[in-house]
């Protein structure tokens, strides 16, 4: 066995990115300000969503979105069994119950049929997961949820740059992206929520910053008032400009980053094609662009003598 391994992740940070962060530090405005606003505008334009809201993490945005959607005790939230712990954690912390649906063994994506079977009169939300950079069949899931009268919150933490049937993920329902350092682009720590729901967007923005109607950048740049109207108790989840500028710099490189990841995935697939007991995930059958956030393989312990 090798003594050293490939790093799990190496963020794409250029000297120009570092210089841009330094410029923000010198500007005198390092917290939520023009760079956060620029990032939100860029993501909204790319996805086609009406609103994009940046925060300290995708997990923070999941917390805010669940509260803004009124999820609480007695409610059920249907989600995929293959997901990161942050989503079920936030559901539990809201006092609601996670209802997990199994995923397809070849793609690790949850199907519309499995979600439909899990919905009960207590179901208040469905959270489909775009896993590893591959999109779920969101049209089929939307059809189920529309028929059953249940809203959707897309877990797109792995899926910035993912496309589904020619459309960028994040432009339809409410979706949450992660900008953690292991993702295709990063803000150091951070996340972005996209939505076309005006009321939800306003609620999330307020909860993100103490429950205030406006933040410091709004007051300075747009003269909004009153200075400190607390609409309801909120949190401190606003992203800082010194984080946002990294993602602002990297977003224009996202397509090139995905293309390079595609090339590397093809090399891995070719190299593993004749290896017994190692099987990469299948790509979805519907039209899509895979963001290649993760390259996942399944291991047959009996065939290769190892469990991982």
User: Residue 86's closest CA among 189, 197, 239, 195?
Assistant: 189
**192 has which bridge partners?**
54, 177
User: Residue 235's closest CA among 41, 39, 55?
Assistant: 55
For residue 182, report the phi and psi dihedrals to the nearest 5 degrees.
-85, -5
Q: How far apart are the first and last CA of the chain?
A: 13
Contact yes or no for 134/283 (Cβ under 8 A)? yes
And the tokens for 232?
A: 């309801």
Query: Is 22 strand, coil or helix?
Result: helix
Contact yes or no for 20/242 (Cβ under 8 A)? no
Query: Is 115 strand, coil or helix?
Result: helix
In this structure, are strands 191-195 and 174-178 parallel, antiparallel, or unpaired?
antiparallel
**297 has which bridge partners?**
280
Contact yes or no for 208/231 (Cβ under 8 A)? no
Query: Is 110 strand, coil or helix?
Result: coil
Catalytic site positions: 183
Q: What DSSP state is assigned to residue 183?
A: S
Dihedral through CA 68, CA 73, CA 78, CA 84, nearest 10?
A: 80
Alpha carbons 14 and 16: distance in angstroms, whole number: 5
Element housing 302 (H / E):
helix 301-304
């Amino acid at each position: 066995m090798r003594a050293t391994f490939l790093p799990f992740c190496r963020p794409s940070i250029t000297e120009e990115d570092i210089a841009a962060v330094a410029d923000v530090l010198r500007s005198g405005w390092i917290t939520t300000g023009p760079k956060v606003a620029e990032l939100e505008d860029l993501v909204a334009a790319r996805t086609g969503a009406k609103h994009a809201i940046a925060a300290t993490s995708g997990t923070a945005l999941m917390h805010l979105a669940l509260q803004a959607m009124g999820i609480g005790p007695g409610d059920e939230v249907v989600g995929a069994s293959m997901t990161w712990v942050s989503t079920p954690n936030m559901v539990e912390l809201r006092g609601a119950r996670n209802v997990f649906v199994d995923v397809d063994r070849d793609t690790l994506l949850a199907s519309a049929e499995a979600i439909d079977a899990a919905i009960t009169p207590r179901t208040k939300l469905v959270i489909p997961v775009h896993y590893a950079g591959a999109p779920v069949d969101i049209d089929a899931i939307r059809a189920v949820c529309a028929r059953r009268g249940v809203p959707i919150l897309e877990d797109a933490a792995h899926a910035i740059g993912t496309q589904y049937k020619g459309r960028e993920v994040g432009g339809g329902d409410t979706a949450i992206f992660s900008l953690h350092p292991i993702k295709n682009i990063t803000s150091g720590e951070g996340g972005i929520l996209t939505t076309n729901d005006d009321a939800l967007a306003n609620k999330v923005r307020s909860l993100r910053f103490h429950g205030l109607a406006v933040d410091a950048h709004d007051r300075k740049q747009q003269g909004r008032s009153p200075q400190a109207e607390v609409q309801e108790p909120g949190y401190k989840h606003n992203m800082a400009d010194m984080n946002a500028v990294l993602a602002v710099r990297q977003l224009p490189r996202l397509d090139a980053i995905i293309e390079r990841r595609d090339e590397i995935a093809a090399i891995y697939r070719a190299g593993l094609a004749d290896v017994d007991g190692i099987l990469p995930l299948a790509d979805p059958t519907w039209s899509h662009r895979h963001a290649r956030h993760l390259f996942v393989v399944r291991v047959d312990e009996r065939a290769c003598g190892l469990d991982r």
